[in-house]
Amino acid sequence: MEIDYDRIALISGISKSELKELSWKEIVNEILLPRMAGLPETRQRIGDSFMSFMAYNAKECVFLDKELAMVLLEIAMQRLSNGAVLHEPTSWETLPEAYKMYSSKWDEPGIMSEGCYKFINQALPLCLRYDETREHALKIFFGLISHLDEKGNIDVNYLFPSPLRKMAGSLYCFAKSQIEGRDGASFEEIFNNYARPGQWEKHKIWFADNGDQINWKKFFQAIRVKGLLRKYRIKKEIFS
């Protein structure tokens, strides 16, 4: 596995041969983060060149230095959490002290960029494999399916950029496949996110497939449905 030194060289103006004389940690701390992610005094938000770089080099980063890779992945996910994807709150305080300047906590919010979209598709699934990044990644995936649907409809409260709107349906399906996949959420995590008013209708197949494990009393309480006839109709709809 080899990092995309050509991309770093292009952005930094430092030759590939010179880069290879530096340690990976030196490249990250002196070039990758300050020049691609951006320093607090020069950026509005984490740079798109950093998001694109991480999209295609996440595995290589883990191979070179797993601890440092977890920091880089968290920085990228914080960019997503600051406007690109609406989701349940997560902590901004997880970065080590030396890297807190790259937190998105005080950055300007920004809607999803091309780099964000690439990161979600190429690198966010990797984040599900590690304890350090799993919870944050799941919140992002659950946020996507909460505000999109498989037909490409977008929640009115979700600012989604026009160039990517045609990808909304496929992004929803991708997020759902990750949530329900091998490295995805537990049964309880899925149930707690799917069994919600205005959300359960998207996931009727999952409820049908897992019907023998579902506490239906808890399900109807969660989606705020009362009345035997209405409950009967909903279960019929799910299993039809």
Could you tell me how many residues make up the chain?
240
Q: What is the mean pLDDT of residues 104-127?
A: 97
Q: What is the pLDDT of residue 2?
A: 82
Q: How confident is the model over 20-48, as pLDDT tens digits?
A: 899 999 999 999 999 999 999 999 999 99
Q: What is the pLDDT of residue 91?
A: 95
What pTM was computed for the model?
0.96
- DSSP assigned state of 109: P
- DSSP assigned state of 81: I
Is there a contact between 193 and 142 (Cβ–Cβ < 8 Å)? yes
On the question of pLDDT at 128 being above 70, the answer is yes
- Banded model confidence at residue 13, pLDDT cuts 50, 70, 90: confident
Residues of the chain with pLDDT > 70, as a percent, come to: 100
- Banded model confidence at residue 214, pLDDT cuts 50, 70, 90: very high
Distance CA 145, CA 174 (A): 9
On the question of pLDDT at 142 being above 90, the answer is yes
On the question of pLDDT at 219 being above 80, the answer is yes
Residues of the chain with pLDDT > 90, as a percent, come to: 93
Q: What is the pLDDT of residue 1?
A: 65
Distance CA 207, CA 130 (A): 27
Q: What is the mean pLDDT of residues 176-191?
A: 98
Q: What is the pLDDT of residue 12?
A: 84
On the question of pLDDT at 231 being above 70, the answer is yes
> Which residues is 154 bridged to in the sheet?
148
Identify the sign of the CA torsion 53, 56, 57, 58.
positive
Q: Mean pLDDT, the chain, as a whole number?
A: 96
Q: What tokens appear for 68 in the block?
A: 């440092």
